[in-house]
């Protein structure tokens, strides 16, 4: 490889990497996973679950998801909050909760869990 080509590559590589980051899909940018999870929450969960109110002040059908992963027990099942348990509830539903596995995929469920953990 000639000296000119090497120099050109060395000079343009950082520019190409920066351009690749600018044009990265939204779910690969920092904070985008939480924004995606928030969007999914608003579209699928907010109708039945509060996220900014505690259980005592919610007036929705489902339990409040406020600080869900920070609590020692889940609101209805009284089990320990875990990603696996909440993921199964999202996928397969519960007594009143519908199943969402045909509406949202694995990656979207993961983003939703990240959002719930951030609250």
Give the model confidence (pLDDT) of 10-30 as tens digits: 666 555 544 444 455 555 555
Q: Is the pTM of this model over 0.85?
A: no
47-83 tens-digit pLDDT = 999 998 877 777 888 889 999 999 888 877 778 889 9
- Residue 91's CB is within 10 A of a number of other CB atoms, namely 14
Say whether domain 26-118 belongs to CATH 2.60.40.420: yes
Nearest by Cα to 89 from 44, 52, 38, 31: 44
Nearest by Cα to 116 from 54, 42, 38, 49: 38
For the chain, give every domain's residue range: 26-118
């Amino acid at each position: 490889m000639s000296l000119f080509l090497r120099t050109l590559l060395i000079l343009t590589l950082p520019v190409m990497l920066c351009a690749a980051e600018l044009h990265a899909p939204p779910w690969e940018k920092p904070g985008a996973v939480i924004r995606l999870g928030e969007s999914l929450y608003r579209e699928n969960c907010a109708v039945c679950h509060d996220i900014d109110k505690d259980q005592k002040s919610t007036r929705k059908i489902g339990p409040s998801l406020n600080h869900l992963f920070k609590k020692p027990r889940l609101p209805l099942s009284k089990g320990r909050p875990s990603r696996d348990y909440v993921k199964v509830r999202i996928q397969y539903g519960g007594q009143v909760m519908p199943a969402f596995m045909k509406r949202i995929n694995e990656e979207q469920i993961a983003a939703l869990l990240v959002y719930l953990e951030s609250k």
